[in-house]
Amino acid sequence: MRYLVIGSGPAGISAAEEIRKEDPESPITMITADPHPACSPVMLTYWVSGRYPRESLFFRDVESWAAAHQVDLRCGVTVTAIDVHRQAAKLSAGDDITYDRLLIATGAVPVIPPIPGIRTGGVYTFRTFADAEGILTSRKEMENVCVMGGGFIGIKLACHLRDRGLQVSVIEKEPRLASRIFDQRASDIVRKQLRRHGLCVETGAGISEILNRNGWVSGVRLEDGRIFPAQILVAAVGVRPNTAFVDPSLAATREGIPVDERMETGVPHVYAAGDAATTLDSLTSLPCNNAIWPAATRQGRVAGANMAGRRRAYVHNFSLNALYLDGLQVTTAGHPCEPEGDGVRVFQQGEGNDYRKMVLKSDALIGFILIGDPSPAALLLNRMKRGDILSDPAEWFARSRRTPVGSLGNMGFRHGALWQRSAKATYKYERLDAAADQP
């Protein structure tokens, strides 16, 4: 059996490991355009703070990993086309490689908004090691950084760049930060917290032009005419699946390549996982692109096992995000922004920076937001996975507060980096091995 894995992120690495568990001898080839394979985008934001060594970026030592798992790893090579009828992939060097089982785990590429000046020197996306390195090293004299986009990555990046002593502005066009995972109240709490800690945060403010001096970024002009200085602009407005090269028969859309619960596409023996795949949300049964680290890891394992002849299904597929912002712990899961009506009930409580929200559909939990006290998270995730009926949300919150604090990792949702409560009730970052995840 000839296995071909395209991509060296969490989905591709996890799939190769699972294949090797089931099939100790057959050849595995991994093709990746990334010259720095197994680099964790989760850890990139921490690394730019200057408090973590370069080694912390990589969730596998790929040279020793490839040798131990007998993987033919080819870095800096791009797949330009896939011919599913010939079962062959065309490479950037012009040659072809054939396969019996194929996994497409090519991740996502940043969205580049069509704003005047977007190609100016000093404009970076934030997805790869090269992006992060360019941001930190391209200008010796750097005081002001502008982050375009107030989503999950944009907020974290802004906090860590500020930790380096830089003046950072976050410009978000939507009325609220992280609009996919925050409601307005959560956004307001986070925005005030970030401002208290020295960040300039603007919501409902679009950038109309990127200004430059001698071909390099000098600032941004907002749609209302205000100008913010910047020597570096980071475009963090979102990503899209990296699937432009795939065969039309794979039916790739803006949301990725559709797969079933086995992570197999509509073409036999071709699989997809991670940010490149479209799966079904287990809470709504609707197609979704669950572009988060733990989902990619679990999807890769399921795909790898099935490529090697097992029969596994991918379950518990919904969004989960957790971040720690200047003393404020934030956890969201599922669909916390669904409006009331049509069988949906919303329960909210809290004051100040302490906020709890549950969204229920037909009395089953489909989403929550926790800001401040994270203790209900593990219990709520369990209830969400099981589809339990929660007739009294207030009682569930009270009961969960009497439950010892658990790690989100223990719920099968380990990130490249999470925080856990220490004995003194402070927080610390802890590297967690993605291999500890279970599907």
Instruction: Give the DSSP letter of residue 385.
Output: H
Measure the CA–CA gap between 93 and 170, rounded to whole angstroms.
40
The helix/strand/coil state of 329 is strand
pTM for this predicted structure: 0.89
Q: Which residues pair with 271 in a beta bridge?
A: 103, 264
Q: Is-contact 231 218, C-beta < 8 A?
A: yes
User: For residue 273, which of 4, 1, 9 has the smallest C-alpha distance?
Assistant: 9
The token pair that represents 172 in the structure block: 């978000």
Name the domain boundary from 237, 257, 292: 237
Measure the CA–CA gap between 148 and 169, rounded to whole angstroms.
8
Say what the pLDDT of residue 432 is. 29
Q: Are residues 254 and 233 in the same domain?
A: no
Residue 88 belongs to domain with CATH number: 3.50.50.60
- Give domain status of residue 196, yes or no: yes
Measure the CA–CA gap between 294 and 296, rounded to whole angstroms.
5
Q: Are residues 103 and 71 in the same domain?
A: yes
Say what the pLDDT of residue 395 is. 75
- Give domain status of residue 117, yes or no: no
Q: What share of the chain is helix, strand, coil (3-state, %, to 5)?
A: 25, 30, 40
- Give domain status of residue 10, yes or no: yes
**Strands 427-431 vs 417-421: parallel, antiparallel or unpaired:** antiparallel
Q: Are residues 287 and 354 in the same domain?
A: no
Residue 165 neighbours by CB distance under 10 Å: 9
Q: Are residues 41 and 143 in the same domain?
A: no
Q: Are residues 227 and 152 in the same domain?
A: yes
Q: Are residues 230 and 244 in the same domain?
A: no
Burial of 204-222, coded b for 16+ CB within 10 Å and e otherwise, reads: ebebeebbbeeeebbbbbb
Q: In what order do the strands lie in the sheet with 71-75?
A: 71-75, 28-32, 3-6, 101-104, 270-272
Measure the CA–CA gap between 262 and 311, rounded to whole angstroms.
7
Number of domains observed in the structure of the chain: 3
Q: Are residues 183 and 219 in the same domain?
A: yes
In the chain (439 residues long), the average pLDDT of successive 10-residue segments reads: 97 98 98 94 88 91 96 96 96 95 97 95 94 89 95 94 95 96 97 97 97 96 97 95 93 90 97 97 93 94 98 93 91 95 92 94 94 89 90 73 48 35 28 31
Say what the pLDDT of residue 399 is. 67
DSSP 331-362: EEEE-TTPPSBTTEEEEEEEETTEEEEEEEET
- Give domain status of residue 417, yes or no: no
